[in-house]
Chains A and B, each alone.
Chain A
Amino acid sequence: MAKLTVTIDGQAVEVEEGTSILKAAALVGVRIPTLCYLENINEVGACRICVVEVEGKEDFVTACNTPVEDGMVVRTNTPALRAARRTTLELILSDHPMECLTCVRNGNCELQALAAQLNVRAVRVSGATHADLPRDDSTSGIVRDPRKCIVCHRCISVCADVQTVGAIELQGQGFDAFVGPPANLKLAETRCVQCGQCALVCPTAAIVEKDDTDKVWTALLDPTKHVVVQTAPATRVTIGDMFGLPPGTPVVGKMVAALRRLGFDAVFDTDFAADLTIMEEGSELIERLTKGGVLPQFTSCSPGWIKFIEHFYPEFLPHVSTCKSPQQMFGAVAKTYYAQRQGIDPESIFVVSVMPCTAKKFEAERPEMNAASRYWNNPRIARDVDVVLTSRELGRMLKQAGIDFPNLPDEEYDEPLGLSTGAAAIFGATGGVMEAALRTAYELVTGKTLEQIDFHAVRGLDGIKEAVVPMNGINVKVMVGHGLRNARQIMEKLKAGELKDYHFIEIMCCPGGCIGGGGQPIPTDTAVRQKRIDGIYRVDAAMPYRKSHENPQIKKLYEEFLEKPLSHKSHALLHTHYTPRN
C-alpha cells in the first residue's frame, strides 16, 4: 500500500494509505480526544469531539473517520478546536442527568473522563432535556436508562454489526432522537439475546447490567440459608481488572479467598460443572455419531447463543446439544447430589453464580431451570440457580466489603464441587469448549492417550476456526465461531447444506468467548480480550489435570450418584430442551 506523509501539530509522519488522522496522530504521541469512537465497530463521527483543523479546509473534520491525504497539515489543539469541543461537550452535558455520585459508572465513565480531560468547569447551556424518557428494566440481564444516553451509536453498531441482532436503533429525529427498540417496545419484547455487549461498550450508564447484589447480601445474612457460590471459567482472569491488576492476570486463588471473606458457606467452581458438561456433551456426540443422530452437533453453554438460535434459526434446534450450560448443571447438582451427600436440606441451599455474562441471568430465570424442584418433588425449591452476579457486580461487592483483593493470599476451592481441570478453565475462551471436548472424546473413542493435547487450530480471535481430528478411522470435522455475526454465517452455511460432513460446532455468543462477555469489567476491547485468552491458557497449562474425564470428583459424582453419562438421572438433571421463539 502507498505511503503518505502528513504533518500533525508540526510533526511529520509517514503512514499507510487509509490510515485515519486519529491513528496517525497517535503515532506522534498526540491523543486526540474521542467519545463515540470504538475502533472497527463505531467510526460514525457522531459526537464530533475528535474534530481537528486541516489546512485549506474551512470547517473542521473528524479525526476518527477521516483518512489522511498526502501532504495534509493537521492541527489538533487550537483555541477554536478547544472551544468547539468544549461547547459540544457542554451541549451533551446540558442534556445529561448529573447523577455521578449515585451512578453505577461513577469512576469508570467515559463521559465523566472526557469532561475532566477537556477541563469543563461549568455547563452554561440549559433548557431542553430527555429527562422524561422511561427506564427499561424489562429483561433479566440488562437495564436501559435512556436519560443517560448520549446517542453515541456504539450499542446500535455492536448490536447490529457484531451481533446481527438489531434490537436497538436510533428512533425519532433531531433533538428528539433517542436510542431504543422500535415502536416503543420494551427490550424484553424484542429479539435481544441479553448478551450485554451493548452494556460493555456504552460509554455511560445508559445500558448496564441488572444489579442483583442486594439479593446476595440478604442471603449471606440469612442464618437459615446455606449459601454456595460458583465461579465461571472466564472470571478467573478478569476480576483483577477492577483492582488495577493487568488484564489477563490469573486471580483464581484470590477470588476464592475473597468470596470466603464475603461469607459464603462454600466456594465452588463452575469449572467442575464444565468438566461434567464435557462428559455429557462428549457422550452425546459419540451417541449421535454412532447411532445416526442429527449432526453437526452444536454446543449449548452460551445462553446468548441459545436465545439467538431460538429466535433466528429455530428449525435447527435439534442440532443443539441437549446439555445444560455448566452454570445450570452446577445448580442442579448442588441442590441434589451435594445436598444429599452433606445432609443439607435442599430447600435451604442458595446458589449464587459469578458469571461473565448478563445472559446468564436470563438463563437462570428460564422456567425449565428448576430440575432440583422436580427431583425432590418440592415446589418450594424455586430455581436451580438463585442469583447470578456478573463479574462487575462481584467487583462492586468486594469493594464495598473493603477487601484488598490484590493482596489476598491464594486459597483453594471447597470440596466436592471445587475440583476441576485445565479443560474446564478454557471454556472461558472461544474454542475452549471444543478443545476440552476433543481432549476427552479422543480418549473415549480411541482408548488411546492423547499426546498432543493443545489444539492450537481452534484457539485465538479469528472469527471462524476449523480443525480435523482423526479418531478411529473417522476424520472428526469441527468448527468454532464466536460473536453472533460469525454464528449467523455458520447457520447460513448449515442452511445451504454446506456443513453436512461436520460433526461438532462450538458457538459462543460474545466476541472472544466469555472472557469478552457482556458482564465483564469495562473496558473490554480486542487487546484486553487477547490478554485474557493468554491468561486462561496459562491457567490450563498449570493445572494438574487437563482432561475432564480425569477429574477424580467427576468420577466420584458418577459413581455415587449419576451412574454414567446420559443416564436417566443425568437426563433429568443435566439436560434440557429449547423454545422456538419465531
Chain B
Amino acid sequence: MSSGGKEAQAVELARFFFDLVRRESCGECLPCALGTRQVGVALEGKGAEGTLLREIGRAMKQSSKCGVGRIGGALVLELLERYPAIFKAGA
C-alpha cells in the first residue's frame, strides 16, 4: 500500500476517533469542548495547522478536566507527529 493510502487510512481513523471524543465531550470544561471542535475543523482542512494546532493539542492534553479531552489532545499531538499532512487543506 502506498503511503498515500496509509495516510488516507490514518485520516479516516483520526476522524473516527475524533468523532468519538467529540460525542463524549460533555461541555463542562473549555479546552476540551472548544479544542475538540477546533480539531474537527482542522481535520476538514479548514482550521488550525502546525504550531497552533500543537498548542491546542497540548492545552487539551494537559489542561482538560477528564480523560476525554486528555486523550483527544494526545491524539492530536500523535497525529501531528506522524501525519502532519492530514490537517492540511485537500488532505
Residues of A within 8 A of B (CB): 44-48, 51, 59-60, 62, 80, 83-84, 87-88, 91-92, 94-95, 124-128, 150-151, 153, 170, 172-177
Which residues in A have their C-beta under 8 angstroms from that of B61? 59
Contact A46 B37 (CB under 8 A): no
Could you say which of A46, A60, A127, A150 has the most chain B C-beta atoms within 10 Å of its C-beta? Answer: A127
- Contact between chains at B56 and A170 (CB < 8 Å): no
If A83-B55, A174-B37 touch, whether A44 touches B31 (CB-CB below 8 Å) is no
Measured in the bound complex, the distance between the Cα atoms of B32 and A59 in whole Å is 14
**Chain B residues proximal to chain A, CB less than 8 Å:** 22-38, 40-41, 46-48, 52, 55-56, 58-59, 61-65, 70
Q: Which residue of A lies closest to B23 (CB)?
A: A174
Q: Do residues B56 and A46 form an inter-chain contact, with CB atoms below 8 A?
A: no
**Chain A residues near B55 (CB, 8 Å)?**
83-84, 87
Task: Report which of A46, A87, A150, A176 forms a contact with B58, defined as CB distance below 8 A.
Answer: A87
Contact of A91 among B22, B28, B38 (CB under 8 A): B38
Residues of chain B with a CB closer than 8 A to A175's CB: 22, 25, 27, 33-34, 36-37
- For B63, give its contact among A84, A95, A124 (CB under 8 Å): A84
Q: Is the interface of A mostly helix, strand, loop or mixed?
A: loop
Q: What is the chain A residue whose CB lies nearest that of B38?
A: A125
Tally of A-B residue pairs with Cβ under 8 A? 109
A170→B28 contact, CB < 8 A: yes
Kindly state the separation between the CA atoms of A95 and B27 in the bound complex, as whole angstroms.
14
12 residue pairs A–B, Cβ–Cβ below 8 Å: A48-B64, A51-B62, A83-B58, A83-B59, A84-B31, A84-B59, A92-B34, A151-B27, A151-B33, A174-B24, A174-B33, A175-B25
Contacts of A95 in B (CB 8 A): 34
By Cβ-Cβ distance, the 6 closest A-B pairs, closest first, are A177-B27, A175-B37, A174-B25, A91-B34, A87-B59, A48-B63
Complex contacts, A176 vs chain B, CB 8 Å: 27
B30–A151 contact, CB under 8 A?
yes
Instruction: Please give, as numbers and ranges, the residues of chain B lying within 8 Å of A44 by CB-CB distance.
Output: 28
Besides A51-B63, A92-B30, A177-B26, 4 other A-B contacts (C-beta < 8 A): A48-B29, A48-B63, A59-B63, A91-B30
Select from chain B the residue with minimum beta-carbon distance to A153: B28
User: Which residues of chain B have C-beta atoms less than 8 A from A172's C-beta?
Assistant: 27
Bound together, the chains give a CA A128 to CA B44 distance in angstroms of 12
> Which residues of A are found within 8 Å of B41, using beta-carbon distances?
127-128
Smallest Cβ-Cβ distance to B65: which chain A residue: A45
Q: Name the distance in Å between B48's Cβ and chain A's nearest Cβ.
A: 6
A-chain residues with CB within 8 Å of residue B70 when the two chains form the complex: 59
In the bound complex, what is the Cα–Cα distance between A88 and B30 (angstroms)? 7
B48: chain A residues within 8 A (beta carbon): 124-125, 127
List of A residues within 8 angstroms of B56 by Cβ: 87, 91, 125
Shortest beta-carbon distance from B35 to chain A in Å: 6
Q: Min CB distance, B49 to chain A, in Å? A: 10
Is A173 a contact partner of B58 (Cβ separation < 8 A)? no
- B52 x A60 contact (CB < 8 A): no
Please, how many angstroms separate the alpha-carbon atoms of A303 and B36 in the complex?
Answer: 43
The smallest beta-carbon distance between B47 and chain A, in angstroms, is 5
Question: Could you tell me if B30 and A94 are in contact, using CB atoms closer than 8 angstroms?
Answer: no
A88 with B31: CB separation less than 8 A: yes
- In the complex, how many angstroms separate the beta carbon of A338 from the nearest chain B beta carbon? 54
Out of B27, B31, B35, B62, name the residue touching A80 (CB < 8 Å). B62
Give the docked Cα–Cα distance between A48 and B58 (Å). 13
Residues of B within 8 A of A83 (CB): 55, 58-59
A48 to B55: give the CA distance in the assembly, Å.
15
Q: Bound state CA distance, A59 and B63, in angstroms?
A: 7
Q: How far is the CB of A303 from chain B (nearest CB, A)?
A: 33
A125 pairs with B25, CB closer than 8 A: no
Q: Which residue of B lies closest to A50 (CB)?
A: B63
Cα A48 to Cα B61 with chains together (Å)? 12
Q: How far is the CA of A45 from the CA of B31 in the complex (A)?
A: 11
Residues of chain B within 8 A (CB-CB) of A46 are 28-30, 65
Bound-state Cα–Cα, A92 to B65, Å? 16
Residue of B nearest to A86 (CB): B55
List the B residue with the shortest CB-CB distance to A127.
B41
CB of A88 within 8 A of CB of B63, answer: yes
Question: A177 and B33: CB pair below 8 A?
Answer: yes
Cα–Cα, bound, A44→B40 (Å): 26
- Most chain A CB inside 10 Å of its own CB: which residue of B22, B23, B59: B59
- How far apart are B38's CB and chain A's nearest CB, in angstroms? 6
Cβ contacts under 8 Å, A92 to chain B: 30, 34
A48 CA to B63 CA in the complex, in Å?
6
| Known contacts A127-B38, A174-B37, A175-B36: A91-B59 contact under CB 8 Å | yes
